[in-house]
A and B are shown apart, each in its own frame.
Chain A
Amino acid sequence: MKKSVVVSILCSFLVVTILISIIIFNSLELRTKAQINNLFDEIQKRLEFSYSSNGSYYVDGLPLFLSSNPYDYVRNNDEYDSLVDLGVRSLPVIEDYLSEYLKNSDGLYGYILAIAIEDIAKIDFKETEEYKWATGSSFLNSWKNAKTEVEKVVYDTYYDETLSDNEKTEIIIKFGVLSLETLESIKAETLTYDINLEDSKADVLAEKLVNLITTSDRDTLVGIANREFPLNT
């Protein structure tokens, strides 16, 4: 009897945990998709009123409608900022949405989702040789390639003895948050225990890189990767 009580409690706990996970995942997925729709609605609204509303939606003095620069469409746009604020966990949802969108066209909205992914992932692939892009579809290709290659590049770079720490940093942070998983693995691999002090210490550079990527904003990381900002290691 006692055994069955324990089993039933455990099973109930398991079911409830699974249920909560499903709800949380769906909640994030729904929130992200809803926010993407809010952003598209806002851009549509700005397009409709860019000329007729006496300059309400001008960008640098030019009616938004006349602009071919996609960045003009997300500038000073709270809905875009809200999408980016959803953070790293929303990336797979945005990527899926972009992938679906591109089945229909390679237009402005796809490009805007690509900008959002770059902002959230703290990357600027246009500044790289390997992952340059110019449209939503070319971004998605670059993004998928980067996800496939990041682990090897980060490992090879990290353990390349011919490179200085600064050079390693510049190469690795070009991948932004995509590099975090591999860096965490390196941290775990390099973790050494001091039995006497009962303390543990990961490799210093891996630790610094994780901190740098998680605490810095995109502009800072891109600036360091492109050698526009000094790097103090």
Chain B
Amino acid sequence: MKSFKLFLVVIAISIFMSIGAISVSAVSRENLTADISALNFTASKTSTVELRNKVAKNWTFEQQGYLEQNCLGWALGIVAWCWPWDESASFDEVDENLSISYNCVGYSTMSCDIYAYGDNNEIVHFARGINDGPTAKPPIDAKWGSYEIFLHSTTDPYYTVAESGFAQAYGRLVRAYIEK
């Protein structure tokens, strides 16, 4: 009888502690779920005019865009952070990945669907061709990383490293692609 009482006491304490542990876990899980919901389609960050002028020779604000979309997502027309490469994207790797749906037309500025920018055999930025390329005004638009979406009046609007105040820049137009 004594051992039965001992058993009941141990069980009671264990159940009490279990309920406590599960409750703490449930509360925390609820908070973390709330954090996830907060990430849903946030507006992109707003850049300063000073920064815009350091990045591009010509730009016009088009729309705020979403923080959940990067330049390639915008160029491809999907609301996603899209990056099919590892830490850096060489010209050849970009050609290979986009070749499923796009033909690379070298350095052409004529009526393309996607334009790629970079330097030193690394592509760091993409823009979307609008309508008929240079015949349209303006011919391209692009999402600048976590910033907004801008229209550009030329297909080669960005400063190079030598021209900008940064140690790296979006650089020159290095590739253009037409949808198959």
Residues of A within 8 A of B (CB): 1, 4-5, 7-8, 11-12, 15-16, 18-19, 22-23, 26, 29-30, 33-34, 37, 40, 47, 51, 58, 60-71, 97, 100-101, 104-111, 124, 126, 132-137
Q: A12-B7, A106-B80 are in contact. List 5 more A-B contacts (CB 8 A).
A: A26-B21, A40-B35, A107-B67, A108-B68, A126-B84
Q: Give the nearest-CB partner of A7 in chain B.
A: B7
Contact of B167 among A15, A58, A69 (CB under 8 A): A58
Q: Given that A11-B11, A104-B40 are contacting pairs, would A62 and B84 also be in contact in the complex, using a CB cutoff of 8 Å? A: no
**Residue from A4, A30, A106, A132 within 8 A of B28 (CB atoms):** A30
Q: Which residue of A lies closest to B169 (CB)?
A: A62
8 Å CB contact of A15 from B11, B33, B47 = B11
Given contacts A68-B72, A97-B36, contact A124 B86 (CB under 8 A): yes
Closest to A24 in B: B21
A120 and B145 alpha carbons, distance in the complex (Å): 26
By the criterion CB–CB under 8 Å, are A63 and B32 in contact? Answer: no
B154 within 8 A of A: no
In the assembled complex, how far is the CB of residue B49 from the closest CB belonging to chain A, in whole angstroms? Answer: 12
- The answer, among A47, A60, A104, for a CB contact under 8 Å with B36, is A104
Q: What are the residues of chain A within 8 A of B37 when measuring CB–CB? A: 104
| B85→A65 contact, CB < 8 A | no
The answer to whether A134 and B82 have CB atoms under 8 Å apart is yes
Which of B25, B73, B78 lies in contact with A26, CB distance below 8 A?
Answer: B25
A69→B82 CA distance, assembly (Å): 9
CA distance A109 to B4 in the complex (A): 54
For residue B59, CB closer than 8 A to chain A, the reply is no
In the complex, per-residue mask of B1-39: 1 if CB is within 8 Å of any chain A CB, else 0 = 001101100110011011001101100110011011101
In the complex, A134→B72 CA distance in Å?
A: 10
25 chain-A/chain-B pairs, Cβ below 8 angstroms: A5-B3, A7-B7, A8-B6, A26-B24, A37-B35, A40-B35, A47-B45, A58-B167, A60-B167, A60-B168, A61-B161, A64-B145, A65-B47, A66-B146, A67-B124, A67-B145, A69-B83, A69-B87, A69-B88, A69-B124, A105-B66, A106-B79, A108-B67, A111-B83, A135-B81
* Chain A CB within 10 Å, residue with most, of B36, B67, B125: B36
Distance between B68 CB and nearest chain A CB, rounded to angstroms: 3
A13's closest neighbor in chain B, by CB?
B10
**Which residues of chain B come closer than 8 Å to A110, judged between CB atoms?**
81
Given contacts A19-B21, A51-B48, contact A132 B84 (CB under 8 A): yes
Interface bracket on B? 35 or more
In contact, B86 and A68 (Cβ under 8 angstroms): no
Partner of B68, one of A5, A18, A58, A105: A105
Complex: chain B residue closest to A37, CB-CB: B35
Rounded to whole angstroms, the CA-CA distance of A172 and B137 in the bound complex is 53
Contacts of B55 on A, CB cut-off 8 Å?
A: 66
Among B41, B83, B125, B161, residue most surrounded by chain A Cβ atoms (within 10 Å): B83
Structural contact, A68 and B125, CB atoms closer than 8 A: yes
Residues of B close to A137: CB separation below 8 A = 80
In the complex, chain A residues whose CB is within 8 Å of the CB of B18: 18-19, 22
Q: A4-B4, A126-B85 are in contact. Are A65 and B147 (CB under 8 A)?
A: yes
- Which A residues lie within 8 Å of B25 (CB)? 26, 29-30
Whether the pair B36, A101 counts as a contact (CB closer than 8 A) is: yes
Contacts A47-B146, A134-B82 known; A105 to B70 CB distance under 8 Å?
no
Residue numbers in B under 8 Å from A106 (CB-CB): 68, 78-81
Chain B residue with minimal CB distance to A15?
B14
| Distance (whole angstroms) from the CB of B86 to the closest CB of chain A | 6
**Which A residues touch B147, using CB under 8 A?**
65-66
A124 and B178 CA atoms in complex are apart in Å by 29
> What is the bound-complex CA distance between A228 and B145, given in angstroms?
31
